[in-house]
């Protein structure tokens, strides 16, 4: 390695020496350098545009269940209509209703204490049975109800059951998503309803709730 570096250094010095000798020994008349062309200065390119910051999403409506142990967020536009809906809560059940008048969507949460002697757990079998019971009740109120999706998901260690359906309510086709779990010896249920003609808006509502769902 040292020998190679020495040889490269020697070649560089020799080249500089030869150039100096040529300049001294040249007896030919100097040729005037050609006229240089005027230098055209190109304008500097404009600076790149400043990055456009995406405005933060508008805040939604925070919903709390089980004294703040279960929380989620509804999209902007929803308001709490529990008092205006004539809902009467008691020691065995708590129901909240939220509406968005513009999108014509609704969300209902409920916390129900089961009858004495009924033992609850968060097993897949129990959640499936509770979901089937809820669909049976809905089938008595809605027409042409059909299940389009059914699955379990978890938030932390808490298991949830999700059931998507299509049905007719008062002559209008609607899509629905039911989310339920067993928490603190209670059946906690969320139901979301949207017009069937705007399924993408319904999915956005469901995803907003699931993405912001937290269990303490």
In a domain, 14, yes or no: no
Cα 18 to Cα 35: distance, rounded to the nearest angstrom? 28
Who wins on pLDDT, 10 or 173?
A: 173
First to last CA, the chain: 66
In a domain, 164, yes or no: yes
- Residues 152-157: contacts with CB within 8 Å, 24+ apart? 152/124, 152/127, 153/210, 155/213, 155/214, 155/215, 156/215, 157/215
Please give the DSSP secondary-structure letter assigned to residue 85.
G
Is residue 21's pLDDT more than 60? Answer: no
For the CA atoms of 81, 85, 88, 89, the dihedral, rounded to the nearest 10 degrees, stands at: -30
Mean pLDDT of the region 75-79: 96
Who wins on pLDDT, 47 or 136?
A: 136
Query: What is the residue-averaged pLDDT of the chain?
Result: 82
Q: How much is the pTM?
A: 0.71
pLDDT score of 47 = 77
Residue 67: how many other CB atoms lie within 10 Å? 8
pLDDT score of 57 = 65
pLDDT score of 38 = 57
- Domain span at 95: 61-215
pLDDT score of 30 = 56
In a domain, 142, yes or no: yes
In a domain, 6, yes or no: no
Cα 151 to Cα 107: distance, rounded to the nearest angstrom? 20
In a domain, 39, yes or no: no
Cα 160 to Cα 59: distance, rounded to the nearest angstrom? 25
In a domain, 185, yes or no: yes
- CATH number, domain at 98? 3.40.1000.10
Cα 213 to Cα 33: distance, rounded to the nearest angstrom? 80
For the CA atoms of 137, 141, 143, 144, the dihedral, rounded to the nearest 10 degrees, stands at: -10
Tokens 């978890």 appear where?
154
Cα 148 to Cα 178: distance, rounded to the nearest angstrom? 12
In a domain, 125, yes or no: yes
Domains: count for the chain: 1
Who wins on pLDDT, 93 or 38?
A: 93
């Amino acid at each position: 390695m040292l020998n190679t570096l020495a040889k490269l250094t020697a070649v560089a010095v020799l080249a500089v020496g030869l150039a100096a000798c040529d300049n001294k020994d040249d007896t030919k008349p100097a040729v005037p350098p050609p006229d240089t062309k005027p230098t055209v200065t190109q304008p500097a390119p404009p600076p790149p545009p400043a990055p456009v910051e995406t405005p933060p999403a508008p805040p939604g409506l925070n919903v709390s269940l089980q004294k703040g142990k279960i929380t989620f967020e509804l999209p902007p536009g929803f308001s709490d209509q529990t008092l205006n809906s004539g809902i009467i809560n008691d020691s065995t059940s708590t129901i909240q209703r939220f509406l968005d008048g513009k999108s014509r969507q609704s969300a209902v949460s409920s916390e129900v204490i089961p009858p004495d002697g009924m033992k609850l757990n968060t097993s897949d079998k129990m959640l499936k049975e509770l979901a089937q019971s809820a669909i049976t009740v809905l089938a008595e109120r809605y027409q042409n109800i059909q299940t389009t999706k059914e699955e379990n998901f978890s938030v932390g260690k808490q298991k949830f059951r999700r059931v998507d359906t299509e049905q007719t309510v008062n002559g209008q086709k609607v899509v629905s998503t039911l989310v339920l779990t067993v928490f603190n010896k209670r059946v906690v249920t969320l139901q979301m309803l949207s017009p069937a003609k705007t399924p993408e808006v319904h999915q956005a509502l469901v995803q907003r709730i699931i993405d912001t769902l937290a269990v303490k």
